[in-house]
C-alpha cells in the first residue's frame, strides 16, 4: 500500500479503485504534476478514469492535508504529496524545472515579520524564480 493510501486510512478518506490509482501515481511522483499530467499517468493504468475524478480527488486530498497545491506561474495548479518537512520552491524560468529547498532562517524571519505586524503566521508562500548560472 502506498503512502497516500495509508494517509487516507488514517484520515478516514474513503478509498475507491480510482482514488487508489491516483494515490499510487502521486505517491511515486518526484515532480509537481498538474491535473492534466496526472490524468495522463493515471490513464496508463486505468483508461476509464475521467479527468473530473482526478480534479475531485486531488481537491479531496488537498482538503484532507494529504497533498499540497501550488499555483506557480503558468495558469494550471500543480500538486505534490504533502512533505514531512516543509519546503519552498525555486523555479528555473528557462526550463521550468522546480527545485525544492529549506531555509530555516527565512522561516524565522517570516514569523518575526508577521508578529511585528500583529499577526500569527498561518501559512506562507515563497517562490523564487531564477536562471541558471553557467560556470
Which stretches of the chain bind DNA, using CB under 7 A?
Answer: 14-19, 34-36, 46, 48-53, 55-57, 59, 75-77
Smallest gap from Cβ 8 to DNA, in A, equals: 9
Could you write out the DSSP letters of every residue in 53-85? Answer: HHHHHHHHHHHTTSEEEE--TTSS-EEEEPPSS
For DNA, the closer CB: 12 or 118: 12
Residue 5 grid coordinates: 493510501
Residue with cell 482538503: 63
* CB closer to its own copies, 85 vs 123: 123
**Which of the stretches 7-15, 24-32, 49-57, 122-130 binds its own copies when contact is defined by CB under 8 A?**
122-130
User: With CB cut-offs between 5 and 8 Å by kind, which of DNA, its own copies, none does residue 1 bind?
Assistant: none
Contacts of 51 (CB under 8 A, 6+ apart): 35, 36, 39
Amino acid at each position: 500500500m502506498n503512502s497516500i493510501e495509508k494517509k487516507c486510512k488514517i484520515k478516514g478518506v474513503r478509498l475507491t479503485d480510482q482514488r487508489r490509482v491516483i494515490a499510487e501515481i502521486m505517491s511515486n511522483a518526484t515532480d509537481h504534476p498538474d491535473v492534466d499530467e496526472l490524468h495522463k499517468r493515471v490513464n496508463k493504468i486505468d483508461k476509464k478514469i475521467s479527468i473530473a475524478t482526478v480534479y475531485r480527488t486531488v481537491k479531496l486530498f488537498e482538503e484532507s492535508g494529504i497533498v499540497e497545491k501550488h499555483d506557480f506561474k503558468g495558469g494550471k495548479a500543480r500538486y505534490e504529496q504533502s512533505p514531512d518537512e516543509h519546503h519552498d520552491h525555486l523555479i528555473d524560468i528557462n526550463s521550468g524545472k522546480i527545485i525544492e529547498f529549506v531555509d530555516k532562517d527565512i522561516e524565522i524571519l517570516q514569523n518575526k515579520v508577521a508578529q511585528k505586524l500583529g499577526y500569527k503566521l498561518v501559512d506562507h508562500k515563497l517562490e523564487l524564480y531564477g536562471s541558471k548560472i553557467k560556470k
